[in-house]
Structure 1
């Protein structure tokens, strides 16, 4: 089975390869094709993967290319993990937004919109090429903003575009651990959009254990989301929000923390990863994996640092410093589809009839039944009014982003920014569009 990874020079690719090395089942991935526009990054990551494969019998073969069409031909699965504009682009997204006093996070608010406007045209081109060159391939989208990008691709390849995220996996693992439950035994009642969802129940043998957690203030205060949101707010909601909802519920405090920070998250990662890639370029004979692993550990330790500062949440727990598990979700998804191994995973897929407040083509993030026919969302109870309002508002913004990317309309882009709950003025929205067009040549298409 051939797996193509677009954005193959990306820093997190070794996490995927680690999962592939651990898969010894029949019908596993035997060839990995890495594609990237940056040959130097491709070379660095290929070296890390070679270190990982050392001593592993029958490790998947790795091939690299900068030719997109060559990469896609013959693919069974395509992982889209691109970052249009690189980390320098992410840092600019944050900087322009903070100058206007609004959030610049890469998937939420102004920064997410800017990233989407840059990324959607590229993602659409990829989807069209997949349809032409590998019509039977499944595209598993890692690229942020994951729900928005998956919806853009699904308009061209339908249900063969499936988005994944590690946030629901990490949340479910943490809550299950607190309740003494093996994660694999629990059914997670999780619903929303990507980076905008709520865990409403955790069922084991038909019994919902989440109310017991919500009733225990000490237990609530002992894990990541409890520290971020506080026991009072979680009890008021009657659910555990995805960690990214901290940007909505505590927006003022988070923006202030970002503004106080010496560097934004994007600027930190840009500098950190530049050192990693420069080190491997300057030391072609040095072991690559130790340098990657040390950089990864530092990256995980500083995840959502501004939000934790705003909440007074302290350092991340040691058990949260490992990857959230998106590579495991991707492997399980591939196996379920390729070998008709029925499973349930939280994924980003087209809504169909799951949430009545959204149309059938709107991509949502919910538990899905997966088999050889793909991923189908399960039926879920309606969201409460406060969550419905937020989901509908953000989905409306995503639709304006898609419309702006298709039409090239500056006015539509302004509308997308202005309608977002975290942008408080049409005047600010206009300045954001102008600021982002100045910062990103790739947004020159907005007229």
Structure 2
């Protein structure tokens, strides 16, 4: 089987590559075609992925290419992780919002809208190429704003498209950690759209435990190692009766979040640009065959797990339950 990664020069790609290597036999994987418009980043990232694969004895190939038609030809799955305009455009979006006392975050408010306007035309054009080169392929999109992108592509006629995010799987693991149980024992009942979702039920071994979780938060607060997904006042969570996505803080707690963003010395885009210098230095070191610890700070924790769960579910017709968006 062939998988195409569009935007393979992303610093996230080694995280995805780890999962592809781990599930090589289940995927019957022969080739991962890696496309990016930035030749330098593509060369560095695919070189590192090849070393990772060789060190683990993988038999499939990571093939870099600047020819998108070649990358797509015959692919069964197309994974998209592009950023039109790069981190500099993200920085401009954030500043545009903050300079006008608005949320400028990349999926929410004015920042998310600006990113959507840059991104959707590019991905609509990509879908035309998919229709020509691999019409039966599933497009699994990680590009933000994921919900808007997925809806736009479906409206433009692409039926086999899934908008994916690592927020649900991170929340799943956070809840399991908070309750002190293994993640596989936890079932999350959620609804909504990408970054605009709520958890209305949590079951452990089939038993509803959401009220118990609220009691723990009210009694002891949140452990420091949990993600922003649970960063709400305990009284608010109990009154709502649900756990909102962490991104809903930009609506429920707008003034607090705006103050927090404006108080930061650097935008998230600037932080990522600095972090990526370290990541790409690691990727370029030909002695390295393991992903760097700093990759977890990039914001894509469990990205590979989320993507591969969906791909394997579709490929093997597992008929299991996936929280996609």
- Dislocated runs of 4+, deviation >4 Å: none
How far off its partner does 1:45 sit?
0.3
Structure-2 separation of matches of 1:51 and 1:65: 17
How far off its partner does 1:252 sit?
1.4
2:18 equivalent in structure 1:
18
Question: Which one of the candidate residues 269, 274, 281 is aligned to 2:272?
Answer: 269
2:141 equivalent in structure 1:
141
Structure-2 separation of matches of 1:123 and 1:150: 10
How far off its partner does 1:135 sit?
0.5
Matches within 5 A, 1:41-190: 41-190=41-190
2:33 equivalent in structure 1:
33
Matches within 5 A, 1:288-367: 288-289=288-289, 293-297=292-296, 299-300=297-298, 324-348=301-325
Task: Look up the SS of the partner of 1:58 in the other structure.
Answer: coil
Q: For 1:397-440, what per-residue CA distance to the aligned partner results, in whole angstroms no more than 9, with x for missing partners?
A: xxxxxxxxxxxxxxxxxxxxxxxxxxxxxxxxxxxxxxxxxxxx
User: Which runs of 5 or more structure 2 residues have no equivalent in the other structure?
Assistant: none
1:405 equivalent in structure 2:
none
Q: For 1:340-381, what per-residue CA distance to the aligned partner results, in whole angstroms no more than 9, with x for missing partners?
A: 222111014xxxxxxxxxxxxxxxxxxxxxxxxxxxxxxxxx
Preserved CA contact (<8 Å) 1:2 1:32: yes
Preserved CA contact (<8 Å) 1:189 1:200: yes
Structure-2 separation of matches of 1:332 and 1:289: 24
User: Which runs of 5 or more structure 1 residues have no equivalent in the other structure?
Assistant: 304-322, 349-447
Larger radius of gyration: 1
- The change in CA–CA distance for 1:336 and 1:294 in structure 2 (over 3 A counts) is closer
How far off its partner does 1:288 sit?
4.7
- Structure 1 residue 253 corresponds to structure 2 residue 230: no
Preserved CA contact (<8 Å) 1:225 1:241: no
Structure-2 separation of matches of 1:11 and 1:150: 22
How far off its partner does 1:294 sit?
4.5
Q: For 1:75-128, what per-residue CA distance to the aligned partner results, in whole angstroms no more than 9, with x for missing partners?
A: 110001111001111111111111111111110111000000100100110111
Structure-1 separation of matches of 2:77 and 2:21: 17
**Scaled by the length of structure 2, what TM-score is found?**
0.92
Structure-1 separation of matches of 2:278 and 2:307: 28
Structure-1 separation of matches of 2:238 and 2:33: 47
How far off its partner does 1:178 sit?
2.1
**Which fold has the larger relative contact order, with Cα–Cα distance below 8 Å and residues 6 or more apart in sequence?**
2
- The change in CA–CA distance for 1:224 and 1:295 in structure 2 (over 3 A counts) is closer
Preserved CA contact (<8 Å) 2:4 2:34: yes
Q: For 1:178-213, what per-residue CA distance to the aligned partner results, in whole angstroms no more than 9, with x for missing partners?
A: 223322233211111101111111123442111111
Task: Look up the SS of the partner of 2:104 in the other structure.
Answer: coil
- CA-based RMSD of the aligned residues comes to 2.1
**Scaled by the length of structure 1, what TM-score is found?**
0.68
